[in-house]
Amino acid sequence: MPYKYYRGEDRKVLQAALRDRGFRSTEGRLTLLSVLKRAKSPLPVSAIAERLRSTLDEVNVYRALEALNEKGLLMRSDMRQGGARYEYVRSHHHHLICSDCGLTEDVEICADKRMEKKALDNSRAFAKIDTHALEFFGLCKACAPRLSYA
């Protein structure tokens, strides 16, 4: 029997989130969402697959992550050499990412509609923006002094 990451009310919230976006509520999807909902920061696919190995194989983990990301339940962040990481979407936010150690911090700022309009005005091929992601790369306070960028 696979380990259940979700509990009581949490299960109902996750089931409703899946249903609202047109997904069936399977054990694999519930457990995957629960793993990400409990994580303190975005997780790489390898860490997600490790936690789900008794529930989903790695191919299905990738498929589920991409499908849930496309429907807005998850957020994918590309961490340069660290590869993609995923997190459960609680609110629209962006990230500060340490280029050295990979520390990731949420920032509650957002590009406004003027920026989206400007992007569309400068595009020759796009008619509409559905969503956006913004990631700031730099050095955290622990790495900056060590790398003499303080």
Q: Is 93 annotated to bind ligand?
A: no
Contacts of 24 (CB under 8 A, 6+ apart): 18
111-122 CB burial, b ≥16 within 10 A, e <16: eeeeeeeeeeee
Phi, psi at 87, each rounded to 5° = -145, 155
Contacts of 67 (CB under 8 A, 6+ apart): 23
Q: Is 110 annotated to bind ligand?
A: no
Q: How far apart, in whole angstroms, are the C-alpha atoms of residue 40 and residue 81?
A: 21
Q: Is 101 annotated to bind ligand?
A: yes
Task: Give one word for 68, left, alpha or beta, with left for phi > 0 and alpha for psi -120 to 50.
Answer: alpha
- Residue ranges for the known binding site for Zn(2+) are 98, 101, 140, 143
- Residue ranges for the known binding site are 92, 98, 101, 132, 140, 143
- Residue ranges for the known binding site for Fe cation are 92, 132
